[in-house]
Each structure stands twice: as C-alpha cells, then as structure tokens.
Structure 1
Amino acid sequence: MKKKSVVLLSTVVALAMFSGVAYSASGLKLIVNGNVITPEVPPQIIDGSTMVPIRAVSEALGADVQWNEAEQTVTVNQSDRASMQRQIDLLQTALAAESADQAVKTWAKEVKNRNGAAQYALLSPELRSETVKTYEDLNWVTGVSSPWIDSYQVSDGVQADNGSVSYDVGFQLKTSTGSAGEGTVKVTVGMKDGKWMVTGLTYKDGSDELNGLVVVPGA
C-alpha cells in the first residue's frame, strides 16, 4: 500500500491536529478515538496551546513514527487512505440505481436490513451532507434489534413536472410478541449525474420516527 509522509519539525512534543483526538482540561487527559492514552511524556499546556507527544497520538491512530537525529525531524507515515476511498466510491457507484423504481426499492430494502451505508450511498449529495453525522453516530447501522421491520410496501410512483418521482413506502414493525405498528415515509427520487438518487425523505400522516429505523433529515 502506498504511504504518505508528513515531516514535523519538532523533537519531543507537537501540537496534535488529528481528528478523533480530545483533551480534558482537568488533568490533561488524552483521548484518541474514544481510548484514553497515557504517553510517557504527559500532555502540557504551553503559552495557551495544548501540546501532546506526537508519537503517542500518531501510533494510537495507526501511523508509524520515525525520528531522524541528524536532520532533527519527526516523520509520520500513515497508510494512504486514497485507495480505501476509491474502493468506497466504486461500491457507491455499483449501488447507484438506473431507474427511479430501482432506487426506492433498494433504499427500502436496505432500511429493512438496517444497512445505513447502503442507504447513504443511494442519497443525493445534498442529503448525504445533511445525514452523514447521523449515520456516523449510529455507526452506520440504522434501527434496533427490536422492534424490527417485518415487511414494507412501495407505492406506484407519481412523477412531478421536474422529472422527479415520489413514492410512499410503508413499513410494518414487529417484535417477538407481534405487531409493533407501522409508519410511512414519502421518498422522492431524482436524476443526478445520470443516476437515480433519493433526493427527499419525509414522514407522512403523523408517523413517528419508526424507532430510529429510518433516517430522515430534520425529523
């Protein structure tokens, strides 16, 4: 796998600029991606800036750290994420629908499967921007083990003047003791970059949020 190098002109500590890194003002606790890290050199506040050991943070994030005594440099080598992103992009392309019916039916199926990543791949860029944080917070798994979606029905599409198509998708919920109610989501599908994508999601007829089984922006 390709590597990318970031050369940091620091010897012992450097200001950490990594996502997933948090600090506690009390006792300067260092947390990386939810895990408490206890480095040999403790975090410090210097002239109002929080400084942490670059090796401790980098290695906690899966990077390799090298020290060059002659050049007085620290080199952080992190696995190139471009390859992984390319894989994700290709998978999302593979899921892209070639018809409005295919888009809504695939979306409904993935809601039933609780597959947030697949649902997200079917959304328009605008809806992705609105919902990405929600999906991340759910760890890309929508819904809960109970109640679950037992079945769903997709209505015939109604085409608008702008070419978009709207559907009503009814979900029936169930638990181990029987029916747990139902809810309907209006799904609007439109053409984006030559592919059909979900461009709108709204709950209908006073439906509740289906116990978190469906991600609807602003709900």
Structure 2
Amino acid sequence: MKKKLLIGLIAFTMISGTAYAATAINGLYKGRAIVKVTVNGTEVKSIVPGQLIDGATMLPLRAIAESLGATVDWDGAKQSASITTQQQPTQTGLTLTQLNKLGESVGIVYQLDAQNKQIGTGSAFVVDGIAVTNWHVADGNAVSLMIDFGSSVQTVQVKDAVFKNEAADLIGFKVSGVTGLKLNTAELKKGDKVYAIGFPKGRFAITEGAYQFNSLVGTMVFDAGIGPGSSGGALVNSAGQVIGVVVGENDGSPNGHAIPTKKLQDELNK
C-alpha cells in the first residue's frame, strides 16, 4: 500500500540549538554555511547541500527522502512535491473459528501430588505427539500431571518426561490422539500480531496482542493479556504457528514473556 503526502516546499526546518550557529565548519555554499546530513550513519550526498538560511536548517528534499526509501515527484505547474513512502502490509490475523481450532491442541494442566491431590494448574500444548509445558509447571511437589484437552484427558508421570530442561524452563511428555501445532522459529518484528492461548486462572482464554522485543534473558516480550495458569500455553503468530511457550504472567504489568520456539525445537531435536 502506498501513501502520498503533498507538500508545497522543498525544504523543512530542524529545531536544534546548533541550527542557529552561523559557523562554517563544513564549508560554504554560495556564502551560506553547509550542514552535513547523515541517515542511519551514512552521509547524504546531493548537488545542493544542506544549508543554514536565516537561522533555519534547510535540507535537500529529494536526497533525504530517497535515502529513507521514499520517492519524490515534482509538479512544476503547481510548484509542489509529492513524497511516496512504502508501508508494511497489514496483518489480517486469525478468525475466532481458526483460533478455537488451535485451542483444541492446548490443554489445562492439573498438578497432582503423591496423594493424587490437585496442587496447582498450568497450560500445555501438543507438538508432534509431545505435550509441551514449562518446567516450573511440573516442578515442586507434583508427581503427575493430568492434562485435559477437552476431547481427551491424559495423565503423565513427571519422571517419564521425554525431555526436560530446567534452565530453559521446558519439559515434554508423550501423548496420543491430539492434533499437534506447527512451530515457526523465524525472527519477529516489533508490532507483529500474536495470540496467547492457555488457561489463565483455570479458564480457557485467547488474547490478542503484539510482539515487542526480546528481553535481556532471551524471552520474547509481548503485550497480550495473560495470568496465573497461562504458563506453558502457546503463543502463536497470525499464521497460526507457535512462536513461543508462554512463561511469565503479566497481571498488573503491560507485558508478558514467552520462551522462543527455537529453544523448544532444540529440545525436540534431541
């Protein structure tokens, strides 16, 4: 999609304390001080350089626009310039029907102690016949996990995990009869649409948000609402592919955290 901005001048003013200094450290152009311009660290070259004129910094429109990936068209009759910029295509997202279908592969986890007493809840989802959740969901006094997918309820023993990685906060168990989700390990861009699917506070929920950034500890930060019990749930992209394992709750905070699927894929490859 293209967006056009019509302007009537071929220069703009930068508000800066240095703009009013009438020094000529970069030389002169027709008696005026030259202003050196860089875009993302690269100097912008143009026939007519940036200049200080009457206390304002005037920059070459075409050179600046093209250095930012835009195009400029000049209309001599109207004495006006038109700048055209490229915009990213809008992500359409998933329908509620599609999201609910994905939710069939996500189950609520009941932590059971040695007396078969429930001591907590979490979430899990299936990939290639493996029910994936967080290590901390199975850690502690839990001896077994009962996972309810709606269509089936399966109980697994914590000691029978097919993989477990405390440092990565991941653990997996063999299950059967549940359709698995697809993984996507590609890098995300800030603002990419995401959906958190899990069981916060023991109730099935799908929340929409956007990817923000990767934290210093390597978790994915996103702003879809989650809560206690969401741990181990699936974070999916707008194509319905799992991009992370939900690990942190954001009750009272704008952001939640998820373990990138690359770490999960490493465990599955083992």
User: In which range does the TM-score fall when normalised by the shorter chain?
Assistant: 0.3 to 0.5
Structure of greater relative contact order (alpha carbons < 8 Å, 6+ residues apart): 1
Q: TM-score, normalised by structure 1?
A: 0.43
Higher-Rg member (1/2): 2
Structure number having the greater helix percentage? 1
TM-score by length of 2: 0.36
